Amino acid sequence: MATLNSKIPDGPIAEKWTNYKAHQKLVNPANKRKLDIIVVGTGLAGASLAASLGELGFKVKVFCYQDSPRRAHSIAAQGGINAAKNYQNDGDTVYRLFYDTVKGGDYRAREANVYRLAEVSNNIIDQCVAQGVPFAREYGGLLANRSFGGALVSRTFYARGQTGQQLLLGAYSALSRQIKKGNVELFTRSEMQDLVLIDGKARGIITRNLITGKLERHFGHTVALATGGYGNVFFLSTNAMGSNGSAAWQAYKKGAFFANPAFVQIHPTCIPVHGDYQSKLTLMSESLRNDGRIWVPKNIEDAEKIRKGEIQPKDIAEEDRDYYLERRYPAFGNLVPRDVASRAAKERCDAGYGVGTGKAVFLDFEDAIKRLGRDAIEARYGNLFQMYEKINDTNPYETPMMIYPAIHYTMGGTWVDYELMSTIPGLFVLGEANFSDHGANRLGASALMQGLADGYFVAPYTIQNYLADEILVPRMSTDLPEFDEAEKAVQDRLNKLISINGKYSVDHFHKKLGHIMWDHVGMARTKEGLEEGIQMIRELKKEFWKELKVPGSLDELNNELEKAGRVADFLEIGELMAMDALNRNESCGGHFREEYKTEEGEALRDDKNYTYVSAWEYKGPDQEPVLHKEPLTFEAIKVQQRNYKK
Amino acid sequence: MDLTLKVWRQKNNKAKGKFVEYKIKNISKDSSFLEMMDILNEQLIEEGVEPVAFDHDCREGICGMCSLYINGRPHGPDEAVTVCQLHMRKFNDGDTIVIEPWRAKAFPLIKDLMVDRSAFDTIIQAGGYVSVNTGGVPDANSIPIERDKAELSMDAAACIGCGACVAACKNASAMLFVSAKVSQLNLLPQGKAEAKLRVEAMVKEMDDLGFGNCTNTGACEAECPKEISLTNIARLNRNFYAAKLS
Ligand SMILES: Cc1cc2nc3c(=O)[nH]c(=O)nc-3n(C[C@H](O)[C@H](O)[C@H](O)COP(=O)(O)OP(=O)(O)OC[C@H]3O[C@@H](n4cnc5c(N)ncnc54)[C@H](O)[C@@H]3O)c2cc1C
Ligand code: SF4
Ligand code: FES
């Protein structure tokens, strides 16, 4: 049975990564050509990894479900990417970025990984600039920075409100170059359906060609998953419609432990829900909190009148506004971390002070426009304001935006060791799909950093260390019985999905699941709520397999079938999330249990009993998974109660 | 509001396609166009009809996946938005809406409203990059770049690769798309070393893939959801002739 060995290198924290690289095994150029690597995913993590491995001379196959690698969900990231460059001379260091990230994650991340992340952050910016990523610049021609939540320094690099797009296009261009050179082979509109193990090692995948419906087999000496997060469990989220947890879930069922599934991030600044036909939620970048002030009416009667449309926000006098973040957290004000800001918004709305539908608060730029002028605000946030206006039909230059928290990111994911290898030998997991760096809450602008750190600067080394012992393994045939078996299992499941022929569409079930998750496994969790949620998910799962209706056939393009496969997995992921949340009798970061809070309503950790990563092991269908614990030790950082008040 | 939809249905690349008419009721003005399509599909599934296949993913106007030709315009009647950001308030109760796929030789149809745009990837593979490997690059601030240049480069880099420019063009030319990538890189010092090679390789690939010639009609700019400017085409042409002359 697999056990948890995080393989953290010896030595002081600042030297671990250097030591690792100095002693790791390498593969000589002639052997690299003989080694096949499968990379699933072309987001920041997957594209940067595939490109880097191609440059090194490995034979790489890369997969995505969209029609082009450039459309991976990373493209949608708006605000920016962190790095400890200290170009602003405001006191930033690698240690400070490391410290902020561990603290922001509420001391539930693995220290050594986070330090390495902070360490390579600067290389990322250099790399992207060399590729031609058009970051924002000052008049002197040097790079500009902005601030993000949870930090007292300005260390976020950005390209207008399209940072993810520009970083991904950079990685995509590097990937395209390797495709042209023949080092990387690209498979678009291909969805991974299962992982193939041979003698206990990851050796290949089964994919479905989404155009023809054909199942295909691919061998790799090693497999890397960079398939993103599972936030769409909630149906409504800021994720792309196709974002899914299926690849990670297939790996889980083949023996890769799943870590901290309960840790999801709820982003405070999203456009509120407006109707039940709604298909997704739109994020308004956190960078808006640099200049926007968040408030609700101080008097409950005013809130009511606003909701009824009897008065407008501008009718409420300054002294009758409650800038509740500035009030509660004077030191960080509107720039508190996301989990804190989200809960504060929920608290005000639950207490009856919400605006709009009652589930919204104001994000107001009036002061910033007075102070800096409309042009300056337009230069900073023009495209976000435009997006808001297109959706809401109101002009944020004139009347405050309305925002509400929404599911945005999953900190949990496949358990990986320091080398980013899962508990399945030869299976590496990168980017949002793994659990490693953000603990119980991720700071803004650090997912892009992590994706690119993993793909450009970490996994190309650690995968080599693994492959150095595989050089004598010849390319294997995909006619091996292990491939037969895996393909057959996939075929059976697809047959089953299409032949249920029940009454309800996939979306019907997905929406139901989303409601259960939001109400029971959302921003405020309780023991009873979670227990009830688990029961409800189990019921829904049964109903799904009895009443699902998937039109069309298997051997053609079939969007409903694709969605059905993903939702079938979400039903199981949701259950594990609830179980993990139930197990964790504390509040930390994005995981808030009503039973565990301070008198002021802040999250109350239980460091004595819960300073560990929960890593769940699959035991078979309808069996209880087994919980393993990776204890977290903090040597370079003193564990404290998070405090954003002073 | 209640609407009549005329939707292009085609089972696959080989089958013959045709318009099919659907009625749809009670659509909220606040829903997006694609949410309206979701509702249509739910209705079709209920009736036992195969839902309409269309591409989409981010639904935020950034991935470039959505691609519907609505009432004769790529991305529909609103200015500077993709279909996923188009809202039903742009239509009126009782309207008939005609929905087609992108039509261009270099974008073969896959099913219903979905087309294959991998030709765009092939063009980028021909030269849409700066040839640097991971690692061993200079410090980011060692290359100062005039702010105006950086902004112009960013304007061009905003292209989402949706292909509306091709769909809008009577010649199905990919000039706006290609010029955006060439401009982004050739404007920056990092891209200068390969500027000539890049423009030649990308233009050649575009021609080889069967995209038409640019005759400066400007239809692409008018329909581009990211407002990519025709000045990029002028810049590409300058780069291209300079490369030919040298
Ligand atoms: C709206 C929004 C804004 C954000 N803004 C920021 C920000 O400003 N700063 C920041 O740091 N972070 C931000 N984030 C978070 C960040 O964008 C993501 O966490 C990060 O981009 C994830 O990258 P990734 O490479 O891990 O995965 P993704 O980009 O999600 O890529 C996943 C890839 O896997 C492929 N894939 C998935 N499943 C399969 C399968 N079964 N078979 C084959 N292929 C598959 C997909 O095709 C895709 O190529 C934002 C997120 C959102 C939603
Ligand atoms: S130039 Fe405009 S229309 Fe053409 S692909 Fe780019 S964004 Fe789309
Ligand atoms: S769905 Fe991504 S741009 Fe429209």
List pLDDT tens digits, range A589-615: 999 999 999 988 888 999 999 999 999
Residue A312 scores a pLDDT above 90: yes
Which residue of B66, B114, B117, B159 sits with most ligand 3 atoms within 8 Å of its CB, as the best mutation to test the pocket?
Answer: B66
**Under an 8 A CB cutoff, do A557 and B63 touch?**
no
pLDDT at B60 over 60: yes
Question: In which band, very low, low, confident or very high, does the pLDDT at A275 lie, cut at 50, 70 and 90?
Answer: confident
pLDDT at B29: 94
pLDDT reported for residue A333: 94
B87 Cα to chain A: minimum distance (Å)? 7
Cβ contacts from A onto B, under 8 A? 214
CATH architecture label of A267-407: Alpha-Beta Complex (3.90)
Residue A458 pLDDT class (50, 70, 90 cuts): very high
Write down the domain spans for chain A. 267-407, 481-607
Burial label for A132, CB within 10 Å (0-12, 13-18, 19+), is buried
- Residues B162-172 have pLDDT tens digits of 999 999 999 99
Closest-approach residue (CA) in chain B for A558: B53
Report residue B91 CA to chain centroid gap: 23
Of the CA atoms within 13 Å of residue A553, those in its CB half-sphere come to 5
What's the ipTM? Answer: 0.98
Instruction: Using the predicted structure, report yes or no on whether residue A3 has a pLDDT greater than 70.
Output: no
Q: How confident is the model at residue A31 (pLDDT cuts 50, 70, 90)?
A: very high
Q: How confident is the model at residue B232 (pLDDT cuts 50, 70, 90)?
A: very high
Of residues A546, A571, A25, A464, the one with CA closest to residue A249: A571
C-alpha distance from residue B206 to each of A194, B153, B185, B202, B222 (Å): 37, 21, 17, 6, 21
Inform me whether the pLDDT recorded for A103 exceeds 90.
yes
Q: Which of B91, B102, B129 to mutate to test the interface with A (most CBs of A within 10 A)?
A: B129
Residue ID of nearest Cα to ligand 2 atom 4: B165
**Which of B33, B35, B54, B59 for mutating ligand 3's site (highest number of atoms within 8 Å of CB)?**
B59
pLDDT recorded at residue B68: 98
pLDDT at A148: 83
Phi/psi at A334 (5° precision): -70, -10
Q: Which two tokens stand for residue A478?
A: 């995909």
**pLDDT number for residue A308:** 95
Checking if the pLDDT of A504 tops 70, the result is yes
Least confident among A226-240, A250-264, A267-281: A267-281
Q: Is the pLDDT of residue A1 over 70?
A: no
Nearest to A522 by CA among A356, A343, A367: A343
Q: Are B55 and B113 in contact (CB under 8 A)?
A: yes
Side-chain-side CA neighbours of B55 within 13 Å: the count stands at: 31
Burial class (CB in 10 A: 0-12, 13-18, 19+), A377: buried
| Closest CA–CA distance from residue B8 to any residue of chain A (Å) | 16
Q: Which CATH architecture has domain B118-245?
A: Orthogonal Bundle (1.10)
Q: What is the residue extent of each domain of chain B?
A: 3-111, 118-245
Residue that is written with structure tokens 């045939």 in the block: A477
Rounded CA separation A208/A493 (Å): 13
- List, for residues A35-76, the tens digit of each pLDDT value: 999 999 999 999 999 999 999 999 999 999 999 999 999 999
Q: Which residue of A has its CA nearest to B185?
A: A132
Determine the average pLDDT of the residues in A76-102.
Answer: 96
- Picking from A66, A141, A549, the nearest residue to B57 by CB comes out as A66
Question: What average pLDDT does the segment A171-188 reach?
Answer: 98
pLDDT of residue A151: 87
User: Ligand 1 within 6 A of A245 CB?
Assistant: no
Identical fold for domains A267-407 and A481-607, yes or no, is no
Alpha helices, DSSP H only, in A254-329?
300-308, 324-328
CA distance A641 to B113: 54
Superfamily of domain B3-111: Beta-grasp domain (3.10.20.30)
Q: What is the distance in A from the centroid of ligand 1 to the CA of A537? A: 26
> What is the number of the ligand 2 atom nearest to the C-alpha of B164?
3
Distance (Å) from the alpha carbon of B171 to chain A's nearest alpha carbon:
23
What's the mean pLDDT in B206-217? 96
Query: Which helix (H) or strand (E) element contains residue A225?
Result: strand A222-225
**Fold of the CATH domain A481-607:** Methane Monooxygenase Hydroxylase; Chain G, domain 1 (1.20.58)
Q: What percent of chain A has pLDDT above 90?
A: 91
* pLDDT for A143 beyond 90: yes
**pLDDT tops 60 at residue A2:** no
Q: Which residues of A touch B151 (CB under 8 A)?
A: 134
Average the pLDDT over A501-512 and give the result. Answer: 97
A393 burial level (CB within 10 Å; 0-12, 13-18, 19+): exposed
Q: What size, in residues, is chain A?
A: 646
Q: Compute, in degrees rounded to 10, the torsion defined by CA atoms B31, B33, B37, B40.
A: 50
Tokens 């460059």 map to which residue? A85
Nearest to A140 among B49, B144, B161 (CB): B144
pLDDT of A241 above 70 = yes
Q: Tokens 């960080």, residue?
A: A332
- Whether the CB-CB separation of A285 and A30 falls below 8 Å is answered with no
Q: Length of chain B in residues, anyone? A: 246
A427-429/A222-225 β-pairing: parallel
pLDDT digits (tens, 9 = 90+) for A364-404: 999 999 999 999 999 888 888 988 998 899 999 999 999 99
Spell out which residues line ligand 2, taking CB within 6 angstroms.
B 159-165, 176-177, 180, 224-226, 228
What strand order describes the sheet that includes A215-219? Answer: A190-198, A201-209, A215-219
To test the pocket of ligand 1, the residue of A227, A243, A434, A569 to mutate (highest count of ligand atoms within 8 Å of its CB) is A227
Please report the atom of ligand 2 found closest to the CA of residue B177. Answer: 1
Collapsing DSSP states into helix, strand and coil, what is residue A59? Answer: strand
Q: Which residues line ligand 3 (CB under 6 A)?
A: B 56-59, 61-66, 82, 84
Mutate to test the interface with A, among B29, B38, B63, B78 (most CBs of A within 10 A): B63
